[in-house]
Amino acid sequence: MRQMLSMQGSWSNRWVFILAAMGSSVGLGNIWLFPIMVGQYGGGAFILLYLCCMLLVAVPIMMAEVVIGRHARQNPVNAIEGAAVSAGASRHWRLVGVLAIFCGFLIFSYYSVVAGWVLHYLVAMIFGQLNGLGVDQTSRFFNALLADSQMLLLWHSLFVLLVIWVLAQRVERGLDRAMRFLMPVLFLMLFMLLGFALTTGEFVPATEYLFNFHLQDIGWDAVLIALGHSFFTLALGVGVIMAYSAYMGKGDAIAPTVIAIGVFDTLVAMLIGLVVVTVVMAAQMELRSGPGLLFVTLPVAFTQLPGGQVFGFLFFLLAAVAALTSAISLLEPATAWLTERFRWSRARAVSLLGVLAWGLGVAALYSLGQLPDLKLLGVSIFDLIDITTTILFLPLGGIAVAVLAGWVLDKEVLTAELALSSPSLASLWLWLLRFIAPSAVGLIFVMNLYNALYS
């Protein structure tokens, strides 16, 4: 059944939807992966490549998610099932929605553990515990934190509670209000950090590092990395964008909104990258990616610079807000599904989900700390969740959405909902969804699988 409005509520306007989608896309990935990726794989050339991947693959898939979500005004499982059935296809297509929702739930469980690390560093920055420490000492600080499961349990629980609190309310009072407050705060902090970076004297070299064109560094690996990252960062394949779109206004133009989200996310990633690279260069340290960058290199770099404790604190606050808005989005599809499927209140649905994800997170954090034997298939629970979700489920979800929208659903209904200005643009969109997107994402999937099994 087609509904006029979602039972969860709706965004106050199109901009709040954009803010919420950006909140979902700007996350830890923008901070600890993107800057280094750009530096390693060709600077400006990589950014150009990344934009192409985004426009040709990620944006069409995101448009499909928005179209399906807004058309049904229901959670991803019902939305997909309804669209498949009315196109005369099997209702079992809803399994795509189930898989996506489950994947978001799994990512949430370990993402909130990492957010707990960020909170711990935030407090350590306030109390100056990291001041004057070198790389070795900060590494020890980080390892001691990973081993301190009780401390991590505290931060993890606090973070999960915060997410539950936001999601427990109707969209207008919860999600909408949170995004209207948190996202401007995030942008403000980013501009203050940019101001700080400008004073260090390393801004120009950092710009060169990030944006100079090195075509020779672009190879197949760069293409795969750019594609894979566009998926993770734009929160595709996990039902988040589909769920958020159910709360969108009928008259809002979809294509420009989706392109704006992609462009803003890339802009923010580049600005965060500028801050990160400038600060690390100003402290004359080596750039590396992943947790080591955020939890070892950056604290050392910030605290070595004048005024660094304050701006280091601000940086971790930015990371915490980015992690929070992403985490909130990860649990929304499952929350919407439980409330619509069983007629539960949002508070009840998100409490149950929160507790389950919290428990899984606890297993993940103990598997990194006090219970190193907590392993499955030879890897820690933490790594297992990380690998299965980002490497396998995410691309699978993306392929499924592309195939569903490109081949299975009713073209007329989709293009009517999308309401593009010209029919040839609509054909281009369908063509990208049918051929380009599934083969490109399929390639990432196969390569990821190969790498996971053989390296």
Give residues in contact with ligand PHE (CB under 6 A).
Answer: 24-25, 27-30, 107, 232-233, 235, 238, 240, 326, 329-330
CA angle 427, 431, 437 (to 5 degrees): 140
Which CB atom, from 80 or from 331, has the smaller least distance to ligand PHE?
Answer: 331
User: Coil, strand, or helix at residue 380?
Assistant: strand
Identity of residue 270: M
Which CB atom, from 240 or from 277, has the smaller least distance to ligand PHE?
Answer: 240
Task: Find, among 162, 149, 86, 92, the residue nearest to 328 by Cα.
Answer: 162
Tally of CB atoms within 10 A around 74: 27
DSSP secondary structure letters along 245-291? HTTS-TTS-HHHHHHHHHHHHHHHHHHHHHHHHHHHHHTT-----SH
Minimum distance from residue 237 beta carbon to ligand PHE (Å): 8
Which CB atom, from 111 or from 142, has the smaller least distance to ligand PHE?
Answer: 111
Minimum distance from residue 88 beta carbon to ligand PHE (Å): 31
Q: 35 and 273 in contact (C-beta within 8 Å)?
A: yes
Minimum distance from residue 427 beta carbon to ligand PHE (Å): 30
Which CB atom, from 21 or from 437, has the smaller least distance to ligand PHE?
Answer: 21
Name the residue with the smallest CB distance to ligand PHE: 27
Which CB atom, from 24 or from 303, has the smaller least distance to ligand PHE?
Answer: 24
Which CB atom, from 118 or from 283, has the smaller least distance to ligand PHE?
Answer: 118
Minimum distance from residue 102 beta carbon to ligand PHE (Å): 13
Gyration radius (Cα) of the chain, Å: 21
Q: Quick one: how many helices (H) and strands (E) in the chain?
A: 23, 2
Q: Distances from the Cα of 235 to the Cαs of 163, 178, 427, 433, 452, in angstroms? A: 17, 18, 25, 17, 21
Q: 232 and 329 in contact (C-beta within 8 Å)?
A: no
Minimum distance from residue 232 beta carbon to ligand PHE (Å): 5
Minimum distance from residue 106 beta carbon to ligand PHE (Å): 11
Distant-in-sequence, close-in-space partners of 171: CB < 8 Å, separation ≥ 6: 6, 8, 9, 10, 11, 247
Minimum distance from residue 389 beta carbon to ligand PHE (Å): 9
Minimum distance from residue 162 beta carbon to ligand PHE (Å): 16
Identity of residue 264: F
Which CB atom, from 25 or from 74, has the smaller least distance to ligand PHE?
Answer: 25
**Strand ranges, E, within 74-152:** none
Which CB atom, from 210 or from 324, has the smaller least distance to ligand PHE?
Answer: 324
Task: Find, among 206, 231, 214, 239, the residue nearest to 57 by Cα.
Answer: 231
